[in-house]
Amino acid sequence: MSIARMIASNQEQVDQGIKALMSNPRNVSRSIGLDIITKRAPLANSTTVLLQLSDGTLCLIIQLLSFHNNYLPDSLYYFLSLPAFTFAGFGIKDTMPILKKDYGLVCKNTLEVGPSAWDHKRASNISILRSMHVPEFRSFSGFCNAELNLTGEMINLAVSNAYAAFRLGEDFLTI
């Protein structure tokens, strides 16, 4: 399965990506994979660089540093707070405080999909996902401003992590 990738660095692109995520008729579970990549820095000062959201068909990669004074589009705040969607992620309990601290982003519904949440009853997707690389610390070094030139490897990592979170979230929500 091929996943469309949308890289957003302005309000219009974020709005367009969120509209696509909200209107996907194939996402009946209303699960959205959520992942972040941070700027490598001392732990207390790490800054979120990318926010990835995936519905299994599309991965919206939002370049957060592209927004002046951390002012993000209202559509992103509203989308994350919609009760109809569940945002699934690896280490989501650690991810959400970072997003809140850096940008004031909060999610209404979250679901942990890391290995601690796996059990033998959910083996259908988990056997495949166990082989996927989801690094414990997702960070890049060398970022000092909004000029973020994503390489193919960075994009693939961002897409695979958000997609894996989506697949597990979908699996957990449809049991």
Compute φ and ψ for 15, nearest 5 degrees: -60, -45
One digit per residue, the tens of pLDDT, for the chain of length 175 reads 689 999 999 999 999 999 999 999 988 889 999 999 887 655 556 578 899 999 999 999 999 988 877 789 999 999 999 999 999 999 999 999 999 998 999 999 999 998 766 664 555 555 555 555 544 444 444 443 445 678 888 899 899 999 999 999 998 888 6
In words, the CATH class of domain 4-173 is: alpha beta
Tokens of 81: 């707070």
Environment class of residue 57 by beta-carbon count within 10 Å: exposed (0-12), middle (13-18) or buried (19+)?
middle
Q: Where are the domains of the chain?
A: 4-173
